[in-house]
């Protein structure tokens, strides 16, 4: 099949770690590659955010990235992109109408991509599958007035749930949320993201570390809701351990980054500054080294639509202490592959970290089970196979197999 993947702000070619570049970029890149391995021809449509970008880039056999001219050719925050989605959609119509590259199916990633895809799908007859990656209702609930999403986001997301041919949810918590939004269950499929277990594995080089200090690693974009502040507060009750934070701006810009300064001041006032290390953004191919260097991954988001980093850590044989929210309640099995603690509760987080670091037998058992779970249950190949079947159904190549929810 010819598969059009639309990912308006998250290019598979972007450097990760910045405010708007993280899991969705990884997801789109890995999924496109896995679908190509299954024999499909994938084109990823993403906004042209620099005048230097070529119109089309071949990433590998079966995967191209098309840079769509919509809005100024410069980086913009994703929350400012809505006004350009009409142009994005029109551009897709022209491309899909031409004989050059008419897709069998379109898969939109994030709600704004969905708007462009539905516009283009209606005019060209291309069926549309939607993955939200994050939901406005959840974001609003947790961020309240600090949520910078366009005001109409939640309404558009509801509308999309009814307008598209299928919605792909990434975890059970999202299925529940979608049901509450009124998305019909028979249009939903539950297909979680995956992890590349060849790249993320316990074998291979590890980043340097002090052998005498237990290492807590935490990874993510520098946004409040990732809960780094809670990890720093938790460190106070985990004596002797160091905390390494990977993500945020490039290492060279950390000293002038306001979020980094905030974390450092908090560490000063909590009296753990000597045990906190900010690494900055790390290229995707170096991530396995950082996971391997850790005794435990702490991930403490207030909410998390899926959460790839815990899965990546698990695939490297690292136990995870996570807040019991969103996708983490599917990936991390409490008491088996790690521990789940309540969100925004540094004391519970610190106690769980202290327990796992102080008990080598528990840590080994968690690590073994985590590795096994990541390898057995979460591969991109499985996601690509399930999506391939779904695409075939919506494009009429195969009879419907029923919803998964
Ligand atoms: N990542 C990276 N370099 C960094 C920080 C993160 O390559 O410096 C990657 C990480 O390995 C993962 C993704 O960015 O693949 C983050 O995904 P996750 O789902 O955990 O968070 P999101 O960004 O979607 O909120």
130-157 per-residue burial string, b: 16 or more CB within 10 A, e: under 16:
bbbbbbbebbeebbeeebebbeebbebb
Same structural domain, 279 and 340: yes
Q: What is the per-residue pLDDT across 301-335, written as a single tens digit (0 to 9) for each? A: 999 999 999 999 999 999 999 999 999 999 999 99
Same structural domain, 39 and 185: yes
Q: What is the per-residue pLDDT across 371-398, written as a single tens digit (0 to 9) for each? A: 999 999 999 999 999 999 999 999 986 6
Same structural domain, 115 and 237: no
**Residue 98 in this model has a pLDDT that exceeds 90:** no
Q: Whose CA is nearest to atom 10 of ligand 1?
A: 309
26 in ligand 1 pocket by Cβ < 6 Å?
yes
**Residue 405 in this model has a pLDDT that exceeds 50:** no
Residue 403 lies in a domain: no
Residue 401 lies in a domain: no
Same structural domain, 49 and 182: yes
Report the CATH number at residue 28: 3.40.50.2000
Residue 302 lies in a domain: yes
223 in ligand 1 pocket by Cβ < 6 Å?
no
Ligand 1 geometric centre to CA of 155 (Å): 28
The answer to ipTM > 0.90 is yes
Same structural domain, 181 and 228: no
30 in ligand 1 pocket by Cβ < 6 Å?
no
pLDDT (0 to 100) of residue 43: 98
Same structural domain, 242 and 97: no
Q: Rounded to whole angstroms, how far apart are CA atoms 176 and 183?
A: 10
Query: How many domains does the structure of the chain reveal?
Result: 2
pLDDT-above-70 percentage for the chain? 97
Q: Which ligand 1 atom is the nearest neighbour of the CA of 282? A: 8
Question: Among 33, 28, 68, which residue's Cα sits nearest to residue 48?
Answer: 68
Same structural domain, 265 and 311: yes
Residue 137 lies in a domain: yes
312 in ligand 1 pocket by Cβ < 6 Å?
yes
Same structural domain, 257 and 149: no
Residue 282 lies in a domain: yes
Same structural domain, 243 and 389: no
Q: What is the per-residue pLDDT across 172-192, written as a single tens digit (0 to 9) for each? A: 999 999 999 999 999 999 999
Same structural domain, 26 and 43: yes
Ligand 1 geometric centre to CA of 221 (Å): 7
Residue 208 lies in a domain: no
Ligand 1 geometric centre to CA of 400 (Å): 34
Residue 275 lies in a domain: yes
Helix locations, 189-299, DSSP H:
228-235, 258-270, 287-292
Q: Domain range for residue 342?
A: 215-377
Same structural domain, 362 and 223: yes
Burial (0-12, 13-18, 19+ Cβ within 10 Å), 69: middle
248 in ligand 1 pocket by Cβ < 6 Å?
no
Ligand 1 geometric centre to CA of 95 (Å): 31
pLDDT (0 to 100) of residue 199: 96
281 in ligand 1 pocket by Cβ < 6 Å?
yes
Residue 404 lies in a domain: no
Same structural domain, 306 and 320: yes
Q: Rounded to whole angstroms, how far apart are CA atoms 128 and 167?
A: 9
């Amino acid at each position: 099949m010819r598969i059009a993947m639309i990912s308006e702000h998250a290019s598979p070619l972007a450097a990760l770690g910045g405010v708007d570049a993280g899991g969705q970029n990884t997801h789109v890149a890995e999924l496109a590659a896995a679908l190509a391995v299954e024999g499909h021809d994938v084109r990823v449509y993403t906004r042209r955010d620099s005048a230097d970008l070529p119109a089309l880039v071949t990433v590998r056999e079966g995967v191209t990235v098309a840079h769509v001219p919509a809005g100024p050719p410069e980086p913009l925050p994703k929350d400012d992109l809505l006004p350009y989605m009409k142009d994005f959609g029109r551009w897709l119509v022209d491309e899909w109408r031409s004989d050059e590259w008419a897709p069998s199916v379109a898969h939109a990633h994030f709600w704004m991509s969905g708007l462009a895809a539905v516009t283009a799908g209606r005019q060209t007859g291309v069926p549309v599958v939607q993955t939200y990656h994050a939901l406005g209702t959840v974001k609003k609930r947790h961020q309240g007035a600090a949520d910078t999403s366009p005001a109409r986001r939640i309404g558009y997301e509801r509308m999309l749930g009814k307008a598209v041919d299928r919605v792909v949810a990434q975890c059970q918590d999202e299925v529940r949320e979608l049901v509450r939004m009124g998305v019909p269950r028979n249009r939903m499929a539950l297909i979680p993201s995956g992890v590349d277990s060849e790249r993320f594995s316990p074998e291979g080089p590890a980043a340097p570390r002090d052998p005498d200090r237990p290492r807590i690693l935490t990874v993510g974009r520098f946004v409040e809701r990732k809960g780094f502040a809670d990890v720093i507060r938790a460190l106070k009750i985990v004596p002797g351990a160091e905390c390494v934070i990977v993500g945020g701006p490039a290492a060279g810009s950390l000293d002038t980054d306001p979020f980094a300064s905030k974390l450092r001041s908090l560490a000063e006032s909590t009296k753990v500054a000597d045990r906190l290390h900010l690494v900055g953004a790390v290229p995707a191919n170096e991530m396995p080294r950082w996971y391997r260097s850790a005794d435990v991954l702490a991930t403490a988001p207030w909410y998390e639509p899926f959460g790839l980093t815990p899965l990546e850590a698990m695939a490297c044989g690292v136990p995870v202490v996570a807040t019991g929210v969103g996708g983490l309640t599917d990936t991390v099995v409490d008491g088996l592959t790690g521990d789940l603690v309540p969100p925004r509760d540094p004391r519970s987080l610190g106690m769980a970290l202290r327990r796992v670091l102080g008990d080598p037998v528990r840590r080994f058992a968690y690590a073994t089970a985590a590795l096994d779970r990541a390898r057995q249950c979460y591969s991109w190949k499985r996601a690509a196979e399930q999506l391939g079947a779904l695409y075939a159904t919506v494009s009429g190549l195969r009879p419907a197999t029923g919803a998964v929810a």
